[in-house]
């Protein structure tokens, strides 16, 4: 896990913060994808035994399993958590777990403004 500095920006006002990023190696990505695939296929196979509903649950399960495992195969890094302060109201700004893709925007809990979060080089 690495900690990186970020800027939080609303219009032309800026504030500093930091995020903890978990990066995945090729092997870890494969493992995460395979785990999702195995779990999804197990649940889908179990839904075969539910009368009538299995007509919907099996195809739906296969589609959901494929999309979740492809997404996990592709995810190279995750933001585990992050913190900073809002450039407008100065309230504590928390960043929740999400895919690591910069820049992104989030809503301030204090003033409900949209804050753009960018990573510092
Ligand atoms: Zn705010």
Separation of 105 CA from ligand 1 center, angstroms? 13
In percent, how much of the chain has pLDDT > 70?
Answer: 100
Separation of 99 CA from ligand 1 center, angstroms? 23
Which pLDDT band, with edges at 50, 70 and 90, does 43 fall under?
very high
Which pLDDT band, with edges at 50, 70 and 90, does 93 fall under?
very high
User: Which pLDDT value is given to residue 118?
Assistant: 94
Closest CA to 94 of 6, 1, 22, 23: 6
Which pLDDT band, with edges at 50, 70 and 90, does 75 fall under?
very high
59 SS3 class: helix
Separation of 48 CA from ligand 1 center, angstroms? 49
Neighbours of ion ligand 1 (CB under 5 A): 86, 88-89, 91, 108, 110-111
79 SS3 class: strand
51 SS3 class: coil
pTM value is 0.75
pLDDT tens digits for 98-120? 998 889 999 999 999 999 999 98
- Residue 45, judged by CB atoms within 10 A of its CB (0-12, 13-18, 19+), counts as exposed
């Amino acid at each position: 896990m690495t900690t990186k500095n970020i800027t939080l920006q609303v219009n032309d006002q800026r504030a500093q913060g930091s995020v903890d990023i978990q990066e995945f190696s090729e092997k870890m990505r494969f493992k995460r994808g395979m785990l999702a695939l195995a779990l999804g296929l197990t649940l889908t196979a179990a839904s075969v035994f539910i009368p009538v509903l299995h007509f919907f649950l099996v195809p739906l399960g296969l589609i959901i399993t494929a999309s979740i495992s492809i997404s996990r195969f592709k995810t190279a890094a995750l933001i585990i958590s992050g913190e900073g302060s809002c450039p407008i109201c100065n309230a504590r700004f928390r960043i929740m777990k999400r895919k690591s893709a910069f820049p992104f925007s989030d809503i301030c809990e204090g003033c409900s403004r949209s804050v753009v979060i960018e990573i510092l080089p």
